[in-house]
Amino acid sequence: MGNPRGFLDYRRELPADRPPIERVADWKEFHFHMEEKKLREQGARCMDCGIPFCHTGTLLSGMASGCPIHNLIPEWNDLVYRGLWKEALERLQKTNNFPDFTGRVCPAPCEGSCVLGINNPPVTIKNLECAIADHGWENGWIVAEPPKVRTGKKVAVVGSGPAGLCAAAQLNKAGHLVTVFERADRPGGLLMYGIPNMKLDKEQVVLRRIKQMEAEGIKFVCHTEVGRHYPAEKLLQEFDAAILATGATQPRDLPVPGRELKGVCFAMDFLTANTRSILDGRKNGNFISATGKDVVVIGGGDTGTDCVGTALRHGCRSLVQVEILPPPPPERAPDNPWPEWPKVYRLDYGQEEAAAKFGADPRVYLTTATKFEGDPHGHVKAVHTVQVQWERNAQGQFIPRNVPGTEKVLPAQLVLLAMGFLGPEQPLLAALGIERDARSNARAEFEKYTTNLKGVFACGDCRRGQSLVVWAFNEGRGAARECDRYLTGQTDLP
């Protein structure tokens, strides 16, 4: 490393955020940029650690440890320290098609396995990745690069989320003619409609990349659901190969009394309609409004946090986030050692904003909803909850048990179900005759991505289940590699 004392001389610093009370008044990204001197100092903190666990990209205890796309992190950290931004971008783009996405929305499993993080705050890898990508755009280094030679082979990619976009980009680099089918009105999938604008700007970040891909020769066909608007069998007739990257969009429901009441909604319906309305300039009222309402969010993951941040920007009257799990500890527990992802208490952006507005973290732990209560007009007016304790059943599995005497009633005119996803929607898989695994995902072996149907591959959440954007990148790139091998008999794709 260029500065062997960097991790001793500089402390971890992140760019400042806009004040919570200020940023809930708009939909703009809330991170400020960091000056170059500070960024270079942060790059200098990367150690000559011998074995850089940051880019191992494996699963430990069921969670990502290290970067799933194996970013060459120590290399571009050192280049940042030296001020060689263009060279840093070149190293970053060898493994990551869209670092401007992951630099904003990835939870950074790389930082959880940073060697420096054993006894000090880890290197600010995510922020440096974002800064490298932003430097690339600002200096005109990221431009459309159409392939010099076309193979004449046609590939369909179904789904334009993170896995589909990576697969399309890689196959296009190999010279194939790529068409991406997207059922929504805009491409991007989860990146467009599943992540709010304040975390990932759609016009300045997502659509900028889509335009670059179009300039490179990739065709996007929106408003088209394969299996409904476009016959599934036609996919096999008109293309030499197909990659299914439809995501895991079947939401987990909560079948308790009152579920049918108006105002009880799935989180993704709430987030999607809101982002579409923002992009349409709020020209209509076709979104689920939290304005002036008591809001209860059920679920404690990233989607729940995004619901919290969105409801606050609407101007909700009150907000409670219900989490069935216990609160995580302030520091790593003994059974959660490095380099596993640290399961520790964090105040994410949404909870920080709620605390600034209402005075406290909105999350209530070890709690579940037992009933939704309605008013005479069939609209939800309250959520009945009870505290739980986790116990082992006869099979040794941990299950929640209701604690008598802990019942509460929360006022609510809007309830958002953010409890994760069960797998891909099934009609397209059924229409194509794709085999499913025990969790209803498309059956395709990891690293091969081949389904039971010749020339049809599956990747991302529809193959592995709900996961991280960066894992979708890994799978999209891998599926493209194997698809290229199928089409040409060999491949140079990584």
Residues 19-54: tens digit of each pLDDT:
999 999 999 999 999 999 999 999 999 998 989 999
Q: How confident is the model at residue 63 (pLDDT cuts 50, 70, 90)?
A: confident
Where on the phi/psi map is residue 312: left (φ > 0), alpha (ψ -120 to 50), or beta? alpha
Q: Which domain holds residue 471?
A: 154-249+422-488
Q: Do both 405 and 347 map to the same domain?
A: yes
Residue 123 belongs to a domain: yes
DSSP one-letter string for 204-222: IIIHHHHHHHHHTT-EEE-
Do 44 and 81 meet the contact criterion of CB atoms below 8 Å apart? yes
Provide the pLDDT for residue 304.
97
Provide the pLDDT for residue 284.
74
Do 453 and 483 meet the contact criterion of CB atoms below 8 Å apart? no
Residue 493 belongs to a domain: no
Provide the pLDDT for residue 425.
95
Q: What is the CATH number of the domain that holds 34?
A: 1.10.1060.10
Residue 282 has pLDDT above 90, yes or no: no
Alpha helices in 118-193 (DSSP H): 125-138, 162-173
Provide the pLDDT for residue 418.
98
| Choice between 284 and 252, residue whose per-residue pLDDT is larger | 252
Provide the pLDDT for residue 128.
98
Mean pLDDT of the region 138-165: 98
Mean of pLDDT over the chain: 96
Q: Do both 265 and 401 map to the same domain?
A: yes
Q: Do both 408 and 427 map to the same domain?
A: no
Q: Do both 91 and 192 map to the same domain?
A: no
Q: Cα(129)–Cα(73) distance, rounded to whole angstroms?
A: 9
Per-residue pLDDT reduced to its tens digit, 417-443: 999 999 999 999 999 999 999 999 999
Taking CA atoms, 185 is separated from 20, 181, 182, 224, in Å, by 31, 11, 8, 9
Mean pLDDT of the region 278-297: 92
Provide the pLDDT for residue 488.
97
Q: Cα(289)–Cα(269) distance, rounded to whole angstroms?
A: 11
| Tokens 């099934």 found at | 426
Per-residue pLDDT reduced to its tens digit, 103-121: 999 999 999 999 999 999 9
Q: Do both 172 and 112 map to the same domain?
A: no
Provide the pLDDT for residue 50.
87
Number of domains forming the structure of the chain: 3
Mean pLDDT of the region 138-154: 97
- Of 75, 103, 138, the one marking the end of a domain is 138
Provide the pLDDT for residue 380.
98
Do 401 and 389 meet the contact criterion of CB atoms below 8 Å apart? yes
Provide the pLDDT for residue 275.
96
Provide the pLDDT for residue 283.
77
Mean pLDDT of the region 380-400: 95
DSSP 8-state code for residue 117: G
Q: Do both 114 and 82 map to the same domain?
A: yes
Strands 318-322 and 363-364, sheet pairing: parallel
Closest CA to 361 of 404, 287, 397, 308: 308
β-pair partners for 415: 264, 296
| Choice between 64 and 181, residue whose per-residue pLDDT is larger | 181
Q: How confident is the model at residue 285 (pLDDT cuts 50, 70, 90)?
A: confident
Q: Do both 28 and 103 map to the same domain?
A: yes
Q: Do both 301 and 407 map to the same domain?
A: yes
